[in-house]
Chain A
């Protein structure tokens, strides 16, 4: 069974159907891009997958659990254990340092562990800025803290909502590089974006329009580090995945 499965999901706000009878499944280790213009239902889908919202009808199966019947409390538990969230506007707690923001996620999940949190910051290259407040960090740095926070509890799925929307090109590259590393390590990634450059990085791309899946594209040879190339010849690091696929 797939890690995430949406079955005939509809989410309506009053008269308006933000999502209509959507079916989608995401396998473990997959990198899925969800694309579409604003108003297409991207955010609604992200909220549903992120356990921030419940469908009006239909079923959402996440890691073998059906979400639409869960209570708020149970949803919180699922969210805390299974999902790592990355936001367009970073959303760090303003009065806590970078390190404390990461530890906050540990605290809500289970146990704050300073050492582990520091390592997570080190991994995103921010060990030196651990004791800085969000207001003292640049946008790219804030987004990296956000990524460290999302990864700290080893979530099954990392869900990113326009992760590069507020970043300049250099920082965008850094963040996307992380994503490909994550993907290489086998983390399931779902990235909601309107930027085709970013969208093309996923193995699979779902285009939403007016609440329905309009198009589904497979980038069989997607190469995150060389997005412009079609990766016709297996090269680092694409070849590893291709090899895996062949073996599968």
Chain B
């Protein structure tokens, strides 16, 4: 009987199914985006730079105190770098770059020189490959000329202030005299960092190591990690993880707090101290939290809006069938049978529309992801049951008031002119 009713008057049913499909696809898309928004915005916030800095243990205290002191004795080993991608939260490490700082003499004056990776492909101990380098960690730099690449150790970059002061232009040869040896390098590019913290000259890590005469040495690692905003637990752990209870420790270690990632970095890199950069880490938390709650509110409201829209349409379409309901009652249908018939019919329509809408919504989420973030949105399984529940409730809520209203009518009145 339900199916008979379904095949007749296809147009009106199609309208309901279409609206349900639209509502579900919209809600699915927005919920999927919402579930991903944390990661996506976090990735966007990586534009602000690294949020963890790893230094050698002894120099973590001393280096910034005596900035020009030769800290050659305390360095990290370049060969340990690959281990960064093996920690528990390895997937949250978006990028990292090692730095080796030294002072060199260039044309009779002293210049600060840093060696680093630009965009290096790493072979991990696990056999996988990973990309790392400072290019993404300095997204705000304006570079005229070219970035260096890790393959070619015969080039150098200069900061715009240094280049201006010493009259350097791209393409020129620069002789850099380090503590151990001196090299003549070609100036490939000039960078404008917008602040004074950048070094005068930038070379590849290998060049810097040769200049300093300390092969395999790294004086600092900048790490950009996706993190969870700090909460109470994270703040307590930041003071001293050892003070946590076993259960708390487990929770903390297995959550991507900036402090737990820093802790895990210290675990894999010997003799190191990993510090969250508060300016970046704290602010990330704030922005993330705001974006998430904004999206949550919008998602909730869209859900309510979609639900009301669908419920409304169903109410309207049930009312439209006053005559049919009158007839059902006239030929002896009990109220329960009438309610069941109409409810069952709407549920079947809703299920068809909902299913179509769910898959359309997954597609729509991808479109939004590509358009806004340039990446895909992962499918969140929990969305499916939420949608199913939503459709069920919406159809019941939408059908019942109209049915109740119509049941009150006397069949005769409905059938013979109103």
Interface residues of A (CB under 8 A from B): 89-92, 94, 134-135, 139, 142, 166
Q: List 15 A-B contacts (CB under 8 A).
A: A89-B416, A89-B417, A90-B417, A91-B417, A92-B417, A94-B417, A94-B418, A134-B417, A134-B418, A135-B413, A135-B417, A135-B418, A139-B416, A142-B417, A166-B416
Residues of A within 8 A of B418 (CB): 94, 134-135
Q: Which chain B residue has the least Cβ–Cβ distance from A142? A: B417
CB distance from B398 to the nearest CB of A (A): 24
Given A89-B416, A135-B418, A166-B416: 12 more A-B contacts, CB < 8 Å: A89-B417, A90-B417, A91-B417, A92-B417, A94-B417, A94-B418, A134-B417, A134-B418, A135-B413, A135-B417, A139-B416, A142-B417
Interface residues of B (CB under 8 A from A): 413, 416-418
Q: Return chain A residues, CB-CB under 8 Å to B417.
A: 89-92, 94, 134-135, 142
Instruction: Return chain B residues, CB-CB under 8 Å to A89.
Output: 416-417
Q: For residue B276, give the distance in angstroms from its CB to the closest CB of chain A.
A: 70
User: Once bound together, how far apart are the Cα atoms of A134 and B417, in whole Å?
Assistant: 8
Contacts of A142 in B (CB 8 A): 417
How many A-B pairs have beta carbons closer than 8 Å: the answer is 15
Residue among B413, B417, B418 having the largest count of chain A Cβ atoms under 10 Å? B417
Give the complex CA separation of A135 and B413 in angstroms.
Answer: 7
**Cα distance, A39 to B406, chains bound together (Å):** 34
| Residue of A whose beta carbon sits closest to that of B417 | A90
Quick one: closest B residue to A139, CB to CB?
B416
**CA of A91 to CA of B417 in the docked complex: distance in angstroms?**
7
Bound Cα distance A166, B416 (Å): 9
Residue of B nearest to A94 (CB): B418
Q: Which residues of B contact A94 (CB under 8 A)?
A: 417-418
Bound complex: CA A89 to CA B415 (Å): 10
Min CB distance, B395 to chain A, in Å?
Answer: 28
**Residues from chain B with Cβ under 8 Å of A134 in the complex:** 417-418
Question: Could you tell me the distance between the alpha carbons of A94 and B323 in the complex, rounded to whole angstroms?
Answer: 14
A67 and B53 CA atoms in complex are apart in Å by 92
Smallest CB–CB gap between A28 and chain B, Å? 32
Q: Which residues of A contact B416 (CB under 8 A)?
A: 89, 139, 166
**Given the complex of chains A and B, what is the CA–CA distance between A90 and B416 in angstroms?**
9
Q: Distance in Å from the Cβ of A146 to the closest Cβ of chain B?
A: 10
Q: Measured between C-beta atoms, what is the minimum distance from B321 to chain A in Å? A: 16
A140 nearest CB across to chain B (Å): 12
Minimum Cβ distance to chain A for residue B307 (Å): 30
A163 to chain B, nearest CB (A): 14
Q: How far is the CA of A90 from the CA of B415 in the complex (A)?
A: 12
- Closest approach, in angstroms, between the C-beta of A145 and any C-beta of chain B? 10
CA of A142 to CA of B418, assembled, Å: 10
Across the interface, name the chain B residue whose C-beta is closest to A95: B418
Q: How far is the CB of A143 from chain B (nearest CB, A)?
A: 10
Alpha-carbon gap, A134 to B416, bound state (A): 10
Q: Which residue of B lies closest to A135 (CB)?
A: B418
